[in-house]
Chain A
Amino acid sequence: MSNAVVEPPLASSGEQVNYLNASYGIRSWLFTKDHKRIALLYLLSITFMFFVGGTAAVLMRMHLLTPAGTLVQPETYNKLFTMHGIVMVFFFLIPSIPAVLGNFLVPMMIGARDLAFPKINLLSWYVYVVGAAFTLYAILAGGVDTGWTFYTPYSSTYANTHVVAAALGVFITGFSSILTGLNFIVTIHKMRAPGLTWFRMPLFLWSIYATSIIMVLGTPVLAITIVLLAAERLLHVGIFDPKLGGDPLLFQHLFWFYSHPAVYIMILPSMGVVSELIACFSRKRIFGYSFVAFSSLAIAVLGFLVWGHHMFVSGQSVYASLIFSMLSFLVAIPSAIKVFNWTATLYKGSISYEAPMLYALGFIGLFTMGGLTGLFLASLATDVHLNGTYFIVAHFHYIMVGGAVMGYMGGLHFWWPKITGRLYPDGWARFAALIIFVGFNLTFFPQFVLGYLGMPRRYATYPAEFQVLNVMSTAGASVLAVGYAIPLIYFMWSMRYGVVAGPNPWRAKGLEWQTPSPPPTENFEVTPIVTEEAYAYNLPPRQLAGQGAPGAARV
């Protein structure tokens, strides 16, 4: 493989100049316009928020070790699950892959020097931080106990916790999402390298594009909903208060119009990562590329049509529920298409089991389980039994943790050498992946059973016969916590002591691997020209068009 990388100039310390050492000092980071540095700023922030949300989860699980629940007061328990939800959803999952991996990789994968609007990119990070500050203030000042869903009229009229501060935090962070999505859409439309047609793009870009569409179309509705909620709380006007003629269900409609597509914001980028990982570690093109690409768009569109399935038992009209139920079944189809295509890619591939691949394989299995259980919930009759129970909790954790977070971890591990120029110890990484997988299943599989047996969610106590399963779940949570701590350690270790990675340690295809690791600030010395399809692994030489003399700007 001819390496078209021109040797970059050396810094005064003797190492190559890259985006990390191009300039020093806190000001060069806080005022950067480099998408790669902004991605790292996001990485730090969301990791911090992940551990905030994780702490709440640990406390909850410890509290649930005993049926009577004596670790915290019930009011505190309410605050714990609320904060866990708010922090994990809005401050970890939604930004995670788009803001970290997306920001880092989108310009590199399309052969550009940066995003379309670098300053807006930096602004989006500041907006995120301000939003997080409000939310952390709400936590420290005493918490919120309405549930991350802020259902009215409790949140608007009766709650006496810091609803407005938390809601404001979410409102502000929503703009970070909007700005990021806007940036990605324009970048992908306008800044692709010559020869990079839509259907030669890596599937990660398709999924980021679909995610950005959701961000742009859905987040504003959440914004206005939160404004109305805050107004009602502050002015006592009664938009959602039945006593004054308001309709609490209107809040739920407006809230879920965003929040359901939001879950697709969380999962689509992860699916994109998995496509990259499966292709690279089976050394094969993705089977059915256009199907996978279009399924991302289909999920984005269909995802907006199903929000009523969160309201089947809230008093929504039966007819509307019927329609939402049917549409919810439909939205499972594009996801299934992806799973079939990934499996077909694996078939007769040359599979290797490095850590990123373990995460990808874990994703496929756990996402499938989570997705299938979603069908039980889409079906009206069974949802009546399962709604409000731990079945739902298990369902969405399978998708969000078993799915989205595994994809995020896999992506972090895959692109870590590119981001930092160092390799982490793969043995420890595989071990951690396994621990996470085991811990995750031990935590959440019992919750499916609990939910089926009828244990309600968001309750601080439970009947004694559920204790065994709860203890299993908490044990799993401790294992999971260890599993997440291990990568934190070896990633940090690797930055100083890791083996120096070359430009392409995985021998992967994709424009981002054509640069040095870590890349220079402007990514590419010369704008690359793309002449082959994505994932051109293992194709016979004659199919690789454009493979000319060495030193040509393509591999």
Chain B
Amino acid sequence: MAEHAEHIVPVKTYVIIFLSLLFLTGLTTGVAYIDLGPFNTVAALAIAVIKMLLVILFFMHVKYSPKLTKLVIVAAFFWLALLLTFTMADEFTRNWSPIPNNWGPSISAPAPRMQ
């Protein structure tokens, strides 16, 4: 964790990142008041991701960290993505009609449940 101690990030970099983060916060707040339809969510998430990356890479020194650290972080987000993706895959396809129309008499409910 302290292997990259040799590299000390200059104060100026921190301040620039800080100002960028403030700017992005203002941006995301402002965008919320404009009607972009579904893209409001996209924009909000995108800006949040950028802010997160700035914090991770610079404030948390990951830009100057060994590859293993980077791998660990990527893995963590990948796992989170797994949780979100698969759960949402279930929740949002639940009402899709499972049986094509010409496969049999009108079956609109899922298979009977046991127990």
Contacts and interface: CB of A to CB of B under 8 A. Distances in A.
Interface of A: 189, 217, 221, 247, 249-250, 253-254, 257, 304-305, 307-308, 311, 313-320, 323-324, 384-385, 387-389, 456
B111 A320 contact: no
Interface in B15-47: none
Given A314-B113, A316-B90, A317-B90, A305 B96 contact: no
B82 interface: yes
A320 B89 contact: yes
B84 to A, nearest CB: 10
B89 A317 contact: yes
Contacts of B108: none
Interface string B75-95: 110010011001101111111
Contacts, number: 68
B68 A315 contact: no
A315 B79 contact: no
19 contacts: A217-B75, A253-B86, A253-B91, A254-B87, A304-B79, A304-B82, A305-B86, A308-B86, A316-B90, A317-B92, A317-B96, A319-B93, A320-B90, A323-B86, A384-B111, A385-B114, A388-B114, A389-B114, A456-B114
A304 B82 CA distance: 8
B105 interface: no
Interface string B91-115: 1111110100000000000110111
A493 to B, nearest CB: 46
A35 to B, nearest CB: 21
Given A249-B90, A308-B90, A324-B86, 11 more contacts: A257-B83, A313-B115, A314-B113, A315-B110, A316-B94, A317-B89, A317-B94, A317-B95, A319-B98, A387-B114, A387-B115
Given A320-B86, A320-B90, A313 B79 contact: no
Given A257-B83, A387-B115, A456-B115, A319 B96 contact: yes
**Interface on chain B toward A: helix, strand, loop, or mixed SS?**
helix
A299 B83 CA distance: 17
B94 A315 contact: yes
Given A189-B68, A316-B94, A253 B87 contact: yes
Nearest to B113: A313
A308 B85 CA distance: 12
A136 to B, nearest CB: 29
Nearest to A185: B72
Interface of B: 68, 75-76, 79, 82-83, 86-87, 89-96, 98, 110-111, 113-115
**Interface on chain A toward B: helix, strand, loop, or mixed SS?**
helix
Contact of A249 (B68, B76, B79, B91): B91
A308 B89 CA distance: 11
A250 B87 contact: yes
Contacts of B93: 317-320
> 8 closest Cβ contacts across the A-B interface?
A388-B115, A320-B90, A317-B93, A317-B94, A318-B98, A319-B93, A253-B87, A388-B114
Contact of B113 (A257, A304, A315, A456): A315
Given A384-B114, A387-B114, A217 B90 contact: no
Contacts of A384: 111, 114
Contacts of A318: 93, 96, 98, 110
Contacts of A385: 114
Nearest to A387: B114
Contacts of A323: 86, 89
A308 B113 CA distance: 16
B5 to A, nearest CB: 16
Contacts of A388: 114-115
B103 to A, nearest CB: 13
Contacts of B111: 313, 384
Contacts of B79: 217, 304
A323 B79 CA distance: 17
A82 B3 CA distance: 48
B56 to A, nearest CB: 18
A388 B86 CA distance: 23
Contacts of B96: 317-319
B114 A313 contact: yes
A40 to B, nearest CB: 31
Nearest to A384: B111
Contacts of B94: 315-317
